[in-house]
Amino acid sequence: MNYAVILAGGTGTRFWPFSRELEPKQFMHVLSNNSLLQNTIIRLSGIIEPENIFIISNKLYLYELKSQIKTLKVPDSNIVLEPDARNTAAAIALAASLILAKDKEAVMLVLPSDHYIRGKKEFSSCIKSAIKCARKDFMVTIGIKPQDASTGYGYIKTAKPLSGLGVKCIKVSKFIEKPAFALAKKYAIDKRFFWNSGIFIWKASVFMEELRKFLPDMYQIFKDVKKIEQVGKKWFSIKPISVDYGIMAFSKKIVLVPADFYWTDLGSWDALTKILPKDACGNVSKADFLGLNCRGVSVFSRSARFISAVGVRDLIIADTPDAILVCNNNNAQDVKKIVDLLKVGRRKECISHITEKRPWGEFTVLQKGIGFKIKLIQIYPKKRLSLQRHTKRAEHWVVVSGCAKVTTSGKAKVVKANNSIYVPIGQKHRLENPGNSVLRVVEVQTGSYLEEDDIERFDDDFKR
């Protein structure tokens, strides 16, 4: 059988302020109604059965992942949560051992979750060719014909085509790190060179064999693993290394199947603007935008704000309710540096959006003032918050849509839309949505201290 392993633990920083630590790039919806992760799954239809698609990620993203895969038939139990991030070799080794435990002959497809691909049919036939090669015990990588002299990608140097497999496939001679521009220019016009897409196809057993050869310490950890729990504390002894550096650089079994679909890793805002349709002046607008005498300006917004630009060139403007970026197209790679500085400054603008997700729904802080804080809370159908108590704040709840079940001091009460209820300081309380539609509550907190850490939980459906 064929399996897919989607790597979805990344914390991409180059799409800040849209991407945040708690809402990384793979969950972004800039290009379509589906996120990049969702499109990665959808693209596998007809190749891999949904129950054979595994997602390797990080516990921070569990509820977001569950909500994103809900309609895509991938079972929640296929989400594999790493104890922490140890780079791609460990993530793939973990997935390979879990898959091998199910199916000794398994072919596994390894896919990044945050890339952009155009051409579903071409993708499909390329992957099917790669699977054929993998069945012959090759380690297959998908190579992209360079579109320009990019210095943002690793390159793969190929040798001679392999015949007799019935598919187009080329022997790989070398994996090359991101090159300097002078080298990239040479590679881009040399037919032997391809971009490294990070998409790999191999038998789980063949991968484990190569792991044994080139990363024997890691192999020892995973060789008999059938369930993630078996890894235990050994996980934390793993040396983080990418599969490219740890295995692909050394394996003699590698072949390349050239892609005939359009691919970009969407490494920056600039890469995103390249694939979007533009107006006659080269402008892109995904916002309530008015530009006068602008050229090459790309505007993205996650707020309701009106954005205007006058007489500017080659800019990216990315707007969110709490942070805005104005960036020269040529400096899009440096957005990462802004995020690094925000981290140093312990600023929340690099961590989360003003709308924060929770397993039961989400909330948005609308206003903070001296002695008060106003939140809009949305609770999914049939979900409830923990039974909790605050020692420094009282809460007023006005139900604006849906119907709430509110428990205070052990007594439950139904609060309908256009009604309100008061939770005094120190009172145990619980807010629940018993209905079938989203419950929206405006919460006005009053008190001397109004941070999220003033919370004592007594019972929680989500074991927090």
Question: Based on CB atoms, which residue is closest to a second copy, 260 or 288?
Answer: 288
Closer residue to a second copy, CB minimum distance, 136 or 295: 295
Q: Nearest CA to 272 among 30, 35, 41, 32?
A: 30
Q: In the structure encoding, which two tokens stand for residue 181, read together? A: 């521009």
CB of 293 to a second copy, least distance (A): 7
Give the nearest distance from C-beta 352 to a second copy in angstroms.
Answer: 13
Q: Are 242 and 7 spatial neighbours (Cβ–Cβ below 8 Å)?
A: no
Is there a contact between 273 and 298 (Cβ–Cβ < 8 Å)?
yes
Q: Taking the complex as a whole, how short is the minimal distance between the CB of residue 407 and a second copy, in angstroms?
A: 20
| Minimum distance, C-beta of residue 321 to a second copy, in the bound complex (Å) | 8
d(CA 231, CA 222): 7
Looking at the Cβ atoms of 125 and 419, the one nearer to a second copy is 419
Joined tokens for residue 303: 């707020």
Rule CB under 8 A: which residues touch a second copy?
17, 290, 292-293, 304-312, 315, 317, 319, 321-328, 330-332, 334-335, 337-338, 341-342, 347, 349, 364, 366-367, 369-372, 374, 376, 394, 396, 398, 400-401, 417-418, 420, 422, 440, 442, 444, 446
Distance CA 98, CA 80 (A): 10
Alpha-carbon span 240 to 246, nearest angstrom: 10
Nearer to a second copy, 328 or 407 (CB): 328
Closest CA to 145 of 19, 275, 258: 258
Please state the closest distance from residue 455 (CB atom) to a second copy, in A: 19
Q: Which of residues 395 and 432 has its CB atom nearest to a second copy in the complex?
A: 395
Residue with the two structure tokens 């895969």: 69
Task: Tell the smallest beta-carbon distance from residue 22 to a second copy (Å).
Answer: 16
Q: Helix, strand or coil for residue 209?
A: helix
C-beta of 255 vs 335, nearer to a second copy = 335
Cβ of residue 425: shortest distance to a second copy, in angstroms?
9
Residue 70 vs 305, nearer CB to a second copy: 305
Q: In whole angstroms, give the CA distance from residue 42 to residue 452.
A: 37
Q: What is the DSSP letter of 125?
A: H
Beta strand ranges found along 145-210 (DSSP E) = 155-161, 170-176, 193-203
- Quick one: which H or E segment has residue 135? helix 120-135
